């Protein structure tokens, strides 16, 4: 009996050693490439680093003998800096580059990691749906949201209310263009009409001319194809010009809870928004958010920060499954294994790199409806993941045969 037990333990040891044989140095390195100091810092930044660390803590339960490091860098919302950091990290053996707000930066990182042997990109902060479309990469997984899902969910809600003419205030960069393009397609498919658009630069000092142009269009909906500080400032100036008190409606095509916190419920109330995550959605999201809040001085996670946690954790489960950090093996496992975590619940990863999970339509509460700090959303509807995101056959990804 003792000999049998010893043999079993020896075999288990051999199996564990073999499983780790292809994890170089028995170490996995997660690089959070994010905005630490500029307009996206509240929505990503240090919170994204904390989210990755929480994923690592959970993973150590099933990868107890593997050293998992989390490093970070500030890409300053610039594609050339993001690409430079990504190249340096790849050369040093960083296994995952995570987050990357600002779509031009995300597209650049996706090209750097394309076909690298041990480095992959899990995009949580990047919004353009092109990442799983014409420029899809075998080493990129687009985890959290994209311009197709967020735009279409909001378009369906407002056109369903009879608001059929749309005018866009669009950020003049990759994500803004993708958000307008994808939302416009949804608007026209649902019987609505796009009557025009105006483009604004990122982090503009003043938005009054753009808001007035949109107001003068007389469109039913002024769709804000912007994010973060640009979105916040556009909403503030729209209120100053009385847009929100008139017949026109503001459509928030990408809104994070940090944006609503910055605006306040008085200014943001009534906005429709789409998100795969809200901290108070269910018991699991509340549990994850409580852990996050302990590290972030009471702040709740944004959908992007929750996506960093969810995507990194699924990657580490794939490493456990394969015993490898070889990119093709890990990506294959990420596509094969079902996803399930406290932030997003159940999901999956498609061949084009698109992670699928439920998407929820929320409306921002009025001040009288809120029961306390961060109690900002009420749930309107839930769209299953396979319906929320662009159909696989319509993206044009060369990886899809």
Please write the tens of the pLDDT for every residue from 303-348: 999 999 999 999 999 999 999 999 999 999 999 999 999 999 999 9
Q: Name the nearest CA neighbour of 123 among 37, 31, 229, 54.
A: 31
pLDDT for position 286: 98
- Which numeric CATH code is attached to 2-145+281-358? 3.40.50.2300
Q: With contact defined as beta carbons under 8 Å apart, do 340 and 356 qualify?
A: no
Start-end ranges of CATH 3.40.50.2300 in the chain?
2-145+281-358, 148-276+359-388
pTM: 0.90
Q: How far is CA 201 from the centre of its chain?
A: 22
pLDDT of residue 381: 87
Residue 230: other Cβ atoms inside 10 A: 23
| pLDDT in the model for residue 50 | 98
Extract the tokens encoding 25: 């140095």
Is 337:320 a contact under the CB 8 Å cutoff?
no
Report residues of the chain scoring pLDDT below 70: 1-21
Residue 112 and residue 106: Cα distance in Å, rounded? 10
Residues with Cβ within 8 Å of residue 381, at least 6 apart in sequence: 157, 360, 361
Give the model's pLDDT for residue 4: 40
22 torsion bin: left (phi>0), alpha (psi -120 to 50), beta (else): alpha
What is the predicted pLDDT for the residue at 3? 42
Question: Alpha-carbon distance 49 to 70, whole Å?
Answer: 8
What is the pLDDT, as a whole number, of residue 21?
53
Radius of gyration of the chain (CA): 22
- The dihedral through the CA atoms of 229, 232, 235, 241 has a sign that is negative
Looking at residue 161, its pLDDT comes to: 87
- CATH hierarchy code of domain 148-276+359-388: 3.40.50.2300
**What's the pLDDT score for residue 114?**
98
CB 285 within 8 A of CB 303: no
């Amino acid at each position: 009996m003792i000999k049998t037990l010893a043999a079993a333990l020896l075999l288990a040891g051999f199996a564990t050693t073999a499983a780790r044989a292809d994890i170089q140095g028995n170490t996995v390195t997660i690089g959070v490439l994010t905005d630490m100091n500029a307009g996206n810092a509240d929505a990503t930044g240090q919170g994204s680093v904390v989210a990755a660390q929480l994923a690592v803590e959970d993973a150590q339960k099933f990868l107890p003998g593997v050293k998992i490091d989390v490093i970070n860098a500030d890409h300053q919302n610039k594609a050339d800096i993001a690409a430079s950091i990504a190249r340096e990290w790849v050369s040093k053996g960083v296994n995952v580059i995570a987050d990357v707000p600002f779509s031009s930066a995300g597209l650049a990182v996706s090209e750097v990691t394309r076909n690298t042997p041990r480095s992959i990109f899990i995009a949580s902060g990047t919004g353009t749906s092109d990442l799983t479309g014409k420029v899809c990469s075998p080493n990129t997984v687009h985890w959290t949201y994209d311009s197709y899902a967020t735009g279409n969910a909001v378009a369906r809600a407002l056109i369903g209310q009879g608001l059929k003419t749309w005018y866009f205030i669009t950020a003049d960069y990759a994500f803004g263009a993708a958000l307008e393009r994808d939302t416009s397609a949804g608007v026209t498919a649902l019987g609505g009409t796009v009557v025009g658009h105006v483009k604004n630069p990122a982090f503009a000092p003043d938005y009054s001319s753009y808001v007035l142009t949109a107001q003068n269009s007389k469109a039913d909906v002024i769709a804000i194809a912007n994010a973060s500080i640009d979105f916040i400032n556009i909403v503030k100036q729209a209120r100053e010009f009385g847009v929100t008190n008139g017949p026109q409606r503001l459509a928030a095509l990408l809104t994070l809870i940090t944006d609503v916190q910055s605006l306040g419920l008085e200014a943001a109330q009534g906005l429709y928004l789409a998100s795969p995550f809200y901290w108070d959605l269910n018991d699991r999201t509340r549990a994850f958010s409580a852990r996050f809040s302990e590290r972030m001085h009471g702040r709740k996670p944004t959908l992007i920060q929750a996506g960093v946690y969810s995507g990194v954790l699924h990657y580490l489960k794939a490493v456990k499954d394969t015993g490898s950090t070889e990119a093709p093996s890990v990506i294959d496992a990420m596509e094969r294994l079902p996803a399930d975590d406290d932030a997003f619940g159940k999901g999956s990863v498609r061949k084009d790199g698109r992670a699928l999970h439920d998407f929820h339509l929320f409306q921002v509460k009025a001040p009288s409806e809120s029961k306390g700090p961060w109690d900002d959303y009420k749930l309107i509807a839930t769209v299953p993941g396979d319906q929320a995101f662009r159909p696989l056959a319509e993206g044009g990804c060369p990886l899809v045969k």
